[in-house]
Amino acid sequence: MAAHNQNDKKTTSSEEVISPITPSSMDTAPIDLGHIEVLQILNEHGEVDAGLEPEIGHDRLLEVYRAMVLARVFDKRMMTMQRQGRMGTFAPNLGQEACIIGQVTSLTEKDWFAPSYRSFGAQIMRGWPMEHLMRLWAGFHDGFPPPSNVNDLPFSIVIGSHALPAVGIGMGMKYKKKNDCVVVNYGDGASSQGAVSEALNFAAVYKAPIVFICENNGWAISTPTSKQSANEILAAHGTAHGIPSIRVDGNDILAMMCATKEATDRARNGGGPTFIEAITFRMSLHTTADDPTVYRDESEVEKWESRCPIVRFETYLKNKGVLETDSIERILASCEEEVLRARDTFYKMPDADATEIFDHLYETFPKELHEQRAEYMQRLKQKGVGE
């Protein structure tokens, strides 16, 4: 891959490459990366490595930038709605916008995406209406199925469970001799799930056209990476299964786009799977049911604020003459308007019909279920529901 290797002449030491992009648990002694490459194109100051800078048109750069901003605006609005009691439990994505958006920019409409629950930015870019996602997070069943024109799985709530179905989709593509691919993502915590290891092994043996993206954001709820794995270089999970693997600065949108494109190209061309470990950081809560101040030192969060993926991309685009200050303000305003329109549409959607929950269980209704349904309906009536 086109990346900095530990032994690359441009790199004086492994620590020089690692220190800007790894979680705080890696701020100690440098670890031998062996043959696992590390890719960073755009550093935390918005400075680009000219030798690795990809050729991306200005319109595409702005499209990606807006997608990142839109993801953050959506995130903030959902947090507000949840605190107002108008939204269910929500998993924010603050600080991980580059990691999420970058993994789907090389996908076509024929490709598939198997997201975890923090992937709403990518889902929006893939064509999910925001009011549809709001419906999902509010607990409505009709929010989970993807739009009819989007080749995505519903996001996985059961940690790591979606990795195997994603490999299955990839194998289906291979059997049908389709030159398409699948991207599946999961967090560092999911890497401890047996299903993920099974998926990696099966994909490696049968060369499934799939890209595994492990979003290493430093924390599996309250468990730090140092307690999640004896080897904190999670890209080693890929190499252990014989899969080409790379560590990427997950807050560098250019690096994420380049690594994912190379991986999806390999998959479509019969080269089999790729493993990408995206080093990022969860700046906010695990979910709105979480309080990270109980287990995480806020000084750790402060260190990552300067590594904000949106700010560094803005700096790069300004230096490139693609973006100006007034453009930033206009893009932010348009994203806020778009999210508010989606919110208003969501508020106008019908409530769930509480009387329907028995309707699709059996073709022929058992006698005892009739009795349970009658009791349930009576209780709803007493509560003034369904009248």
Active site residues: 282, 286, 295
**Strands 223-224, 219-220: pairing kind:** antiparallel
91 within 8 A of 155, measured Cβ to Cβ: no
Compute CA distances 138 → 8, 82, 131, whole Å. Answer: 49, 9, 10
Contacts of the segment 337-343: beta carbons below 8 A, 24+ positions apart: 338/70, 338/73, 338/130, 339/70, 339/73, 339/74, 339/77, 339/130, 340/77, 342/74, 342/129, 342/130, 342/131, 342/134, 343/77, 343/81, 343/130, 343/131, 343/134
Angstrom distance (rounded) from CA 215 to CA 196: 13
The token pair at 165 is 């179905």
Strand, coil or helix: 9: coil
Q: What CA–CA distance (Å, rounded) separates 126 from 121?
A: 9
Q: Which parts of the chain fold into alpha helices (H)?
A: 14-18, 58-83, 97-102, 120-126, 130-137, 163-175, 194-206, 225-228, 236-240, 253-268, 298-305, 309-319, 325-348, 367-382
Residue 276 near residue 248, CB atoms below 8 Å: yes
Residues ≥6 apart with Cβ < 8 Å to 92: 75, 78, 79, 118, 284, 285, 287, 288
- The residue type of 240 is A
Yes or no: say if 21 and 40 are a contact pair by the CB < 8 Å rule. yes
Other beta carbons within 10 Å of 336: 16
Which token pair is 193?
């799930």
Cα-Cα-Cα-Cα torsion 121, 125, 126, 129, nearest 10 degrees, comes to 80
Q: Which residue has the tokens 């409409």?
A: 109
